[in-house]
């Protein structure tokens, strides 16, 4: 779809330019997570929006088209600020006269702290930041995927630390979310946010985004794997032949995953893998990954571990937990979410199985089963300034504080984020800019059409590890 950048806003934003106070010359707004499912939130995705949308600006043809669209949409020729956009086109050649400051991508902070702020840089266009709110707000999505992925990583890492090998964590959560995403761009944005934490993905379009915008030639990895159609097409009576074919065709691959619930998961583990294919699996150059894809994951995982342990053997690691023979492992990819991962890993620990034995594939719950309210993202104006009819400067804090929902109280003033050293390390607080000379963690990333910071995935991953 060809996108007119002037249309990347909500309809009511088009009508707001004459609604602001007389004499206004500057407006400042910010993005934050007001709370939500997790007590911390990470920042991710800013570079993509800055480069792919904000830096491109707009053209005269965009103004002409949008003028016509607004006339038809509002049934009026008084709503669209055509003169304002034409003046912007004349002065800045269609570049947006605003500055965006943001925390570094890959960093995580307690909720209720600002992650981004934006101001107009030209006093003739104080209405611009509100107009761009919709696009700026969209960053809730990569931030939320990044946060969810990182919180899951913390859970998996803790169980690996207690029962196995923490160094394996980067390959323990695989992105299966492409087909469950609402659009190709959604999958690319969300999939790339996940890859700031993990290295495994089947969402190949995310690799394109990382290559084009984050300087990463290859941002994620995968392995050969079957699906139900490639197993069931052989017929029920030839399930073993379909699985044997997987071994033969990918004999030299370090990992091969095979779906095993087409008919009877436990039979596939005990009879097919544990007896009919046992010799070939043990001769295989790499690891054959058993993928149960239905049933009660918490209960069935233990059954599969016990069967594979009985048939292929296991060792006891230095932490006292069982680790399957290196030729077999398990991946769960059905109905996986934050809660089920914790439940599966806790049950494995109870039955003295190491988290080394299992990986997870997460689909819609990773890229789609979230929304702006998962972390209660908000973008609010906090400060304006201007000149009155007598040429005197004025300024005003802007905020809302609804008595019907105190949780929606917004921040006021020109804001910044600082780190405060304490007994338990650094804590972060959002304060007014004039309160202290402490360095602002937010950095200018975009100004007047120019992207000021464009970091690589490698740099972002280092921050996400902290």
Kindly report, residue by residue over 106-115, the tens digit of the pLDDT: 999 999 999 9
Q: Identify the pLDDT of residue 5.
A: 97
Hey, how many other C-beta atoms are within 10 angstroms of the C-beta on 393? 10
Interval 130-158 mean pLDDT: 97
Q: 284 near 325, Cβ under 8 Å?
A: no
pLDDT exceeds 90 at position 191:
yes
Kindly report, residue by residue over 39-52, the tens digit of the pLDDT: 999 999 999 999 99
Interval 236-252 mean pLDDT: 95
Q: 455 near 465, Cβ under 8 Å?
A: no
Q: Label residue 251 left, alpha or beta by phi (over 0 means left) and psi (-120 to 50 means alpha).
A: alpha
3-state secondary structure of 422: strand
3-state secondary structure of 301: helix
Q: 417 near 103, Cβ under 8 Å?
A: yes
Q: What pTM did the predictor assign?
A: 0.96
pLDDT exceeds 90 at position 154:
yes
**What is the rounded CA–CA span in Å between residue 281 and residue 304?**
16
Q: Identify the pLDDT of residue 462.
A: 96
Q: Identify the pLDDT of residue 425.
A: 81
Interval 440-456 mean pLDDT: 97
Q: Identify the pLDDT of residue 179.
A: 95
Q: Which tokens belong to 255?
A: 């990992």
pLDDT exceeds 90 at position 82:
yes
Hey, how many other C-beta atoms are within 10 angstroms of the C-beta on 363? 23
Q: Identify the pLDDT of residue 436.
A: 79
Q: Label residue 97 left, alpha or beta by phi (over 0 means left) and psi (-120 to 50 means alpha).
A: beta
CA neighbor of 43 nearest in space, from 53, 29, 27, 30: 30
Q: For strands 328-332 and 322-324, give the pairing.
A: unpaired
Residue 227 — very low, low, confident or very high, per pLDDT cuts 50/70/90?
very high
The mean pLDDT of the chain is 96
DSSP strands (E only) in 208-344: 255-259, 287-291, 314-316, 322-324, 328-332
**φ, ψ at 188 (rounded to 5°):** -65, -45
Q: Identify the pLDDT of residue 346.
A: 98
Interval 297-319 mean pLDDT: 97
pLDDT exceeds 90 at position 435:
no
Share of the chain above pLDDT 90, in %: 95
- 98 bridge partner residues: 120
**What is the rounded CA–CA span in Å between residue 420 and residue 302?**
46
CA neighbor of 280 nearest in space, from 304, 256, 307: 256
Q: Which residues, 6 or more positions from 285, have their beta carbon under 8 angstroms from its beta carbon?
A: 251, 252, 253, 254
3-state secondary structure of 41: strand
Mean pLDDT is lowest, of 152-156, 333-337, 382-386, for 333-337
> DSSP readout, 332-364?
E-SS--HHHHHHHHHHHHHTTB-GGGEEEEE-H
Residue 257 — very low, low, confident or very high, per pLDDT cuts 50/70/90?
very high
pLDDT exceeds 90 at position 466:
no
CA neighbor of 191 nearest in space, from 53, 43, 336, 367: 367
Q: Identify the pLDDT of residue 421.
A: 83
The dihedral built from the CA positions of residue 197, 203, 204 and 209, taken in this order, carries a sign that is negative
Q: Identify the pLDDT of residue 46.
A: 97
CATH code linked to domain 5-140+379-400+440-464: 3.20.140.10
**What is the rounded CA–CA span in Å between residue 256 and residue 247?**
8
**What is the rounded CA–CA span in Å between residue 349 and residue 76?**
66
First to last CA, the chain: 39
DSSP strands (E only) in 111-242: 114-120, 173-175
pLDDT exceeds 90 at position 266:
yes
Domain boundaries, the chain: 5-140+379-400+440-464
Q: 104 near 439, Cβ under 8 Å?
A: no
pLDDT exceeds 90 at position 426:
no
**What is the rounded CA–CA span in Å between residue 207 and residue 105?**
17
pLDDT exceeds 90 at position 398:
yes
Q: 241 near 231, Cβ under 8 Å?
A: no
Q: Identify the pLDDT of residue 437.
A: 82
Kindly report, residue by residue over 2-35, the tens digit of the pLDDT: 999 999 999 999 999 999 999 999 999 999 999 9
Share of the chain above pLDDT 70, in %: 100
């Amino acid at each position: 779809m060809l996108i007119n950048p002037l249309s990347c806003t909500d309809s009511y934003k088009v009508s707001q330019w004459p609604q602001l106070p007389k004499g206004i010359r500057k407006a400042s707004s910010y993005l934050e997570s007001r709370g939500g499912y997790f007590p911390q939130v990470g920042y991710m995705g800013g570079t993509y929006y800055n480069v792919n949308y904000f830096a491109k600006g707009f053209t005269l043809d965009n103004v002409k088209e949008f003028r016509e669209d607004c006339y038809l949409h509002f049934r009026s020729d008084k709503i669209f600020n055509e003169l304002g956009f034409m003046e912007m086109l004349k002065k800045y050649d269609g570049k947006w006269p605003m500055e965006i400051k943001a925390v570094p991508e890959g960093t995580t902070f307690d909720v209720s702290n600002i992650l981004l702020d934006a101001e107009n840089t030209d006093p003739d266009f104080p209405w611009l930041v509100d107009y761009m709110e919709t696009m700026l707000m969209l960053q809730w999505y990569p931030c939320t995927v990044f946060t969810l992925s990182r919180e899951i990583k913390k859970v998996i890492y803790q169980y690996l630390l207690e029962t196995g090998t923490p160094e394996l964590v980067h390959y323990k959560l695989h992105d299966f979310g492409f087909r469950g995403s609402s659009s190709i761009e959604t999958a690319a944005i969300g999939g790339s946010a996940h890859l700031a934490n993990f290295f495994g993905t089947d969402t190949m379009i995310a690799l394109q985004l990382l290559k084009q915008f984050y300087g990463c030639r290859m941002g994620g990895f995968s392995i050969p794997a079957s699906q139900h159609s490639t197993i069931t097409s052989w017929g029920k009576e030839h399930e073993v032949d379909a699985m044997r074919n997987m071994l033969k065709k990918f004999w030299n691959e370090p990992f091969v995953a095979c779906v095993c619930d087409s008919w009877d998961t436990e039979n596939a583990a005990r009879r097919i893998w544990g007896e009919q294919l046992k010799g070939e699996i043990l001769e295989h150059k790499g690891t054959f990954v058993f993928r149960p894809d239905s049933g009660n994951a918490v209960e069935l995982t233990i059954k599969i571990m016990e069967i594979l342990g009985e048939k292929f053997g296991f060792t006891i690691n230095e932490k006292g937990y069982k680790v399957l023979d290196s030729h077999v492992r398990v991946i769960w990819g059905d109905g996986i979410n934050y809660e089920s991962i914790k439940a599966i890993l806790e049950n494995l620990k109870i039955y003295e199985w190491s988290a080394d034995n299992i990986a997870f594939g997460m689909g819609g719950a990773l890229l789609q089963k979230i929304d702006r309210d998962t972390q209660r993202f908000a973008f609010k104006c906090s400060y304006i300034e201007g000149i009155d009819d007598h040429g005197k400067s004025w300024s005003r804090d802007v905020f809302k504080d609804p008595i019907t929902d105190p949780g929606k109280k917004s921040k006021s003033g020109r804001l910044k984020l600082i780190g405060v050293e304490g007994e338990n390390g650094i804590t972060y607080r959002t304060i007014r800019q004039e309160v202290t000379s402490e360095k602002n963690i937010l950095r200018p990333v975009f100004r007047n059409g120019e992207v000021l910071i464009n970091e690589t995935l490698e740099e972002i991953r280092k921050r996400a590890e902290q």
